Amino acid sequence: MQNAVKRLCPYCAQEVPLASSCCIHCGRDLHQMMIARSTSRPAGPAMYYVVPDGLDFGIAVAGEVKIHGLTLNKARRLVELLNSVGIVQAAR
């Protein structure tokens, strides 16, 4: 029997089968991570977007995480709000 294709869990860095929706080691939902990655790409250079941040999610702009420790839903709502009102980080 062939070995199943594996990937690393983004939360605990342990190997899990590629088709898994949940990590067998830490129990985290890998489906949420895939959703966050597929919907978190910025539309413009100064747009905020959701990124994985340890065991939680964060909000980044221009490649730098600015807000840490959010749930996926809270991060998405805040990104939507920040981008809709046009809040842009001031240049330093």
Structural domain spans, the chain? 1-34, 40-85
Q: How far apart are CA 90 and CA 8, in angstroms?
A: 36
3-class DSSP state of 69: strand
Average pLDDT over residues 52-80: 86
- The share of the chain scoring above pLDDT 70, in percent, equals 72
- How far is CA 77 from each of CA 27, 70, 73, rounded to the nearest angstrom? 25, 11, 6
33/19 Cα distance (integer angstroms): 13
Question: What is the pLDDT at residue 1?
Answer: 40
Which of 90 and 56 is assigned the larger pLDDT?
56
Q: What mean pLDDT is predicted for residues 36-65? A: 73
**What pLDDT score does 46 carry?**
63
